[in-house]
Amino acid sequence: MSSHPTSEPLQLSLLQGFPATARPNGGPALAAVRPVARVLIESPLPHLDRPFDYSVPAELDDDARPGVRVRVKFSGQELGGYILERLAESDAGQPLVPLHKVVSPVAVLTPALQELAGRVAARYAGTVSDVLRVAIPPRVVKVEKELAGAEPATPSAAGPDLSGSGWTRYRNGAAFLRHLGSGGSPRAALSALQGFGPDGWPRLIAEAVAAVRQSGRGAVVVVPDYRDLDLVQAALEEILPADDVARLTADDGQTPRYRSYLRVLNGTAGVAVGTRSAAYAPVQNLGLVVCWDDGDDLHVEQRSPYAHTREVLLLRAEQDGAACLLAGHARSTEVQRLVDAGWAMPVEAERTVIRRTVPRVLNTADSFEQERDPLARLARLPGAAWRTAKEALERGPVLVQVARAGYAPSLACETCREPARCPSCQGPLAIAGSAAVPQCRWCSTPAPAWRCVHCQGTRLRRGAAGVLRTAEELGRAFPGKAVVTSSGQNVKATVTDACALVVATVGAEPVAPGGYAAALLLDGDSLLRRENLRAGEDAVRRWFNAASLVKPATEGGIVVITADDTAAVGALLRWDPAGYAQRELGLRTELQLPPAVRVAAVTGGSTAVGHFTASATKLLADEGVELRVAGPAPLLQTASTSAAGMESVDVRTLLFIPYAQAAIVTRVLRAAKAAGAAKRTEDPVQLRLDGVDVL
């Protein structure tokens, strides 16, 4: 065994605690041709993120091919890994440890995936091993036997007729589709109008994939969750042969996921559609990558290196020279930055088409409604919203969007209005039902005899109404009408077109096949008041996603929003998501906040964060780079937090990185983290780049 150096200064001398073991005399005979295997071991340690050389026994020669899974001896342990390449000789200058075992003869790691994993790890200052853990599903032996010798799929040159495609309703849409079909690689940002029916966004994505399949190339489509996945898969299978579509999501279990991965790997499926990990699907001759609703937090991988699907697909499109489609009802500021830079072409509907297609939007907080109903600003369900729901329920289902799940997710003292806290852990108290006992949302401890620590009051009031409480109130307001809820663990993908009230939390709105007759967007001010840089952007995205499920205004569709008249509400009233994204990006650029710059968050103990930040800034100074630094600041700042108590509190330091210097900074941060892990002299720190929740 020998470590193979990389271009980064990872202080290889620190690896002397992992000695190379010489092959003893009389050991196994080695392969006659290329007897050295360069292996990437599976290890979470940053300083081991490099290839190691092993000798190849003759008995493993046939199976030890690049890309296969292997087991190796490393520092007294048996670890998994992947063979990256076979070599004639090693530059280690010492005998090598032989490969212990070839786990499977299937080469699951392709050269393209290996390169992509390296690019993602470099962009997010992570390790290649962590990226591959997400990209390659666990092995299932019976699936490998089942698909042995499968024949690759051959796309039809004719394909479906796309002349009447819904893309023709969008400016630049028809040109984008023609470019795909002719073998080109255009890049587009689509602002889709409808989320249901034959012209909805799933059909648009399916038609784009069909066009690229006609050119003989493959496609990757990534969506946030299983509900979107079901819709897109159904739309794809209406146009393409079902065998040509592979579904990749961890929610289906290991066996179906691995089967789909191998079908894509051996070419029996030319289209991969799924959630986050599908972005790495080894599609042959890739021609198109698609990301739907990139602003959704579900696109962020929850494990190191915390990569975002959008960025993975952008790296992949650049690497493979593939077309790229970033689609959504609203537009994120990251996508707007690509449009402003000229990297992506905007695909939007003309105003005349928008007026025919989208519902009418009414704001109960505007001056006209305030004159008619002075109490509208105070009521959770203003008179205009109630009248709209009453009339629309005679024509079809009505969607009610609320911000919070549960029954009463927050409570306050009836006397002094201070938030009610758990006596045990100081967590927020909540009520799960009308007759339920107050309970802590953090530790689940019941608090039947709660007493306010400020005024000694014993009576509680609801600080916010959740989806269950809202459904209960609407059931009383509209007797005789069915009420359906969709939230938490009971999220519904679709509902019927029956006349019913559908109460859903943000992001859990079901699709009605014929569209909703109306939608009530409640708790808008709560969404906008969140302490997050993206509060307005995220609220606009959620409003557009819900409003797109409503019938056009020409068919009586109407959306009522109960929020103050802000720029975010104005974007919905004008149905102008691109304009809002452009305005928001302009403000962020002026303040030098993401996505105008990149941001790295260093989190951990105060001493460890201080040492890491000092080491990284010193290395960057040697490179001639100076960054804007904010922090360290405690993650949970309380009245009892003092300078003397900072050592016991996790802190966070933010580094703001200009794009022109991002490659240098991420390389240095990656090297500093590897060097710190190799020393083992201090607590580790968490390093996250471009985290959507850090500001």
Contacts of 357 (CB under 8 A, 6+ apart): 169, 193, 194, 349, 552
Tens of pLDDT, residues 419-459: 888 888 788 888 877 677 888 878 888 888 888 888 888 88
Q: At what angle do helices 662-679 and 606-622 cross, to 10 degrees?
A: 130
Report, as an integer, the average pLDDT of 482-486. Answer: 93
Q: Which of 67, 65, 62, 37 is nearest to 51 (CA)?
A: 37
Q: Output the average pLDDT for the chain.
A: 87
Cα–Cα distances in angstroms (integers) from residue 670 to residues 331, 560, 619, 682, in the given order: 31, 49, 11, 17
The pLDDT of residue 299 is above 90? yes
Q: Which two tokens stand for residue 541?
A: 């995205």
Determine the distance from the C-alpha atom of residue 156 to the mean position of all C-alpha atoms in its chain, rounded to a whole number.
33
Beta bridge partners of 246: 272
8 Å CB contact between 421 and 429: yes
The pLDDT of residue 11 is above 60? no
pLDDT reported for residue 370: 62
pLDDT reported for residue 473: 85
Determine the distance from the C-alpha atom of residue 497 to the mean position of all C-alpha atoms in its chain, rounded to a whole number.
31
pLDDT band at 525 (very low <50, low <70, confident <90, very high): confident
pLDDT reported for residue 639: 35
Tens of pLDDT, residues 204-243: 999 999 999 999 999 999 999 999 999 999 999 999 999 9
pLDDT reported for residue 681: 66
Rounded Cα gap, residues 459 and 106, in angstroms? 65
Listed range (68-77, 125-134, 434-443, 562-571) with the worst mean pLDDT: 434-443
pLDDT band at 8 (very low <50, low <70, confident <90, very high): very low
The pLDDT of residue 653 is above 60? yes
Q: Which two tokens stand for residue 242?
A: 């079902």
Beta bridge partners of 543: none
pLDDT band at 148 (very low <50, low <70, confident <90, very high): confident
DSSP state of 647: G
Rounded Cα gap, residues 385 and 588, in angstroms? 34
8 Å CB contact between 673 and 612: yes
Q: Which amino acid is at 204?
A: L
Which strand ranges, in their side-by-side order, compose the sheet holding 482-486?
360-363, 558-561, 518-521, 398-402, 500-505, 482-486
DSSP state of 28: P
Rounded (10°) CA dihedral 498, 503, 508, 511: 20
Look at residue 151 and give its three-state secondary structure: coil
8 Å CB contact between 483 and 402: no
8 Å CB contact between 67 and 26: no
Cα–Cα distances in angstroms (integers) from residue 393 to residues 474, 518, 519, in the given order: 12, 8, 11
Q: At what angle do helices 201-214 and 173-181 cross, to 10 degrees?
A: 30
What is the percent of the chain with per-residue pLDDT over 70, rounded to a whole number?
89
Q: Which of 76, 40, 72 is nearest to 56 (CA)?
A: 72
The pLDDT of residue 25 is above 50? no
Look at residue 94 and give its three-state secondary structure: coil
For 51, list phi and psi in degrees, rounded to 5.
-75, 150
8 Å CB contact between 144 and 265: no
The pLDDT of residue 7 is above 60? no
pLDDT reported for residue 27: 64
Report, as an integer, the average pLDDT of 365-373. Answer: 65
The pLDDT of residue 181 is above 90? yes
